[in-house]
Amino acid sequence: MKKVLSIAGSDCSGGAGIQADLKTFSAHGVFGMTVIASVVAENTFRVIEYQDIRPDIIEKQIDAVFEDIPPDALKIGMLSCKEGMLAVAGKLREWKPSNVVIDPVMYAKNGCALMDPDSIDTLIAEVVPLADVITPNIPEAEKMAGIRIYTQKDMRKAARIIHDMGCRAVLVKGGHSEGDATDILFDGSEFYSFSSPRIPTKNTHGTGCTYSSAIASNLALELPIRQAVARSKKYVTTAIANALEIGRGNGPTHHFYDLFQHGLSDVKNWREDIT
Ligand SMILES: Nc1ncnc2c1ncn2[C@@H]1O[C@H](COP(=O)(O)OP(=O)(O)OP(=O)(O)O)[C@@H](O)[C@H]1O
Ligand SMILES: Cc1ncc(COP(=O)(O)O)c(N)n1
């Protein structure tokens, strides 16, 4: 069985963070492991507070996983501060994992900050170069690239700027735009776009976590990056189409164990374009 690790924050309400990651791993039939970097008191409509795990405890969790069950892929989610970023980056340089997916989480869906804005330089210098795929949403891509994004042309421009920071591929997600939900992948030479019709729902808590965990699972299952993103886009679209009306805010995506048998054919007008 393939093994996949999530290094991220815990969402006690179960829709995002480590909890969404484990549900996604199970749905993909891979063995999920976790390194908790922060404990977040949050729900579908607000973040109350978070406490970061001490950097040496983050490092020891990473050692515990790697010395015993080396993962076939890993994803990094919420790292709120410089100290946590440096701890993770140092350990990854030591253990040299393959198939690293980084979701540079900066805000929760409800707008609450999950990353100290002063850490962005550390994110760019220390964490981004470790990524085989980095998956910023539009506001995150704007912050990292230092440009405003209004069009798909701007998404491509941001992808190029972020690629120059030293990662292998960049996936700028279009969940925060209007019209179709179109994501742009740049692998350093070609752009690929992955698009689905926008689903009219407020229940999108955990979409980014679900997507990056699906990509890590599919890389662990030995798909090349482009195919891993294509299969993961179908997974996240179906998980949004079936999102749960739970809680007072943005309800969570839904993970089916039999999604691949029964769910994916429900995604109408699926498109993948090479541009
Ligand atoms: N309403 C929607 N309908 C269809 N697809 C969507 C919708 N909202 C987001 N997506 C898709 O979900 C995926 C996650 O994108 P999004 O931009 O929402 O990530 P995110 O903001 O990082 O998520 P999160 O806030 O959970 O971290 C992308 O493939 C995006 O295109
Ligand atoms: C621990 C943790 N990690 C990531 C997110 C982002 O997900 P979303 O923007 O969907 O709330 C979150 N809310 N909580």
Question: 207 near 108, Cβ under 8 Å?
Answer: no
Distance from Cα 211 to the centre of ligand 1, integer Å: 8
Which numbered ligand comes closest to the C-alpha of 250? 2
Task: Ligand 1: list residues with CB < 6 Å.
Answer: 16, 105, 109, 137, 173-176, 181, 183, 196, 198-199, 201, 204, 206-209, 211, 233, 236-237, 240
* pTM for this predicted structure: 0.94
Q: Which residue has the higher pLDDT, 274 or 18?
A: 18
Phi, psi of 211 (to 5 degrees): -65, -50
pLDDT, tens only, 164-208: 999 999 999 999 988 999 999 999 999 999 999 999 999 999 999
What does the DSSP assignment read for 154-212? Answer: HHHHHHHHHHTTT-SEEEEB-TTSSSSEEEEEE-SS-EEEEEEPPP--S--BTHHHHHH
Q: What is the rounded average pLDDT of the residues 157-170?
A: 98
> Which whole number is the average pLDDT over 29-41?
97
Minimal-distance CA residue to ligand 2 atom 14? 17
146 is catalytic: no
| Cβ neighbourhood burial of 112 (10 Å; 0-12, 13-18, 19+) | middle
Show the domains of the chain with their CATH numbers.
3-274 (3.40.1190.20)
Contact 197, 180 (CB under 8 A): yes
- Residue 272's pLDDT is 55
Percentage of the chain beyond pLDDT 90 is 90
Which residue among 105, 138, 170, 173 is best mutated to probe the pocket of ligand 1, counting the most ligand atoms within 8 A of its Cβ? 173
Least confident of 38-42, 84-88, 89-93, 266-270: 266-270
Active site residue 208: yes
207 is an active site residue: yes
Per-residue pLDDT reduced to its tens digit, 103-147: 999 999 888 999 999 999 999 999 999 999 999 999 999 999 999
- The fraction of the chain above a pLDDT of 70, given in percent, is 93
Atom from ligand 2 closest to the CA of residue 40: 1
Amino acid 257: pLDDT: 61
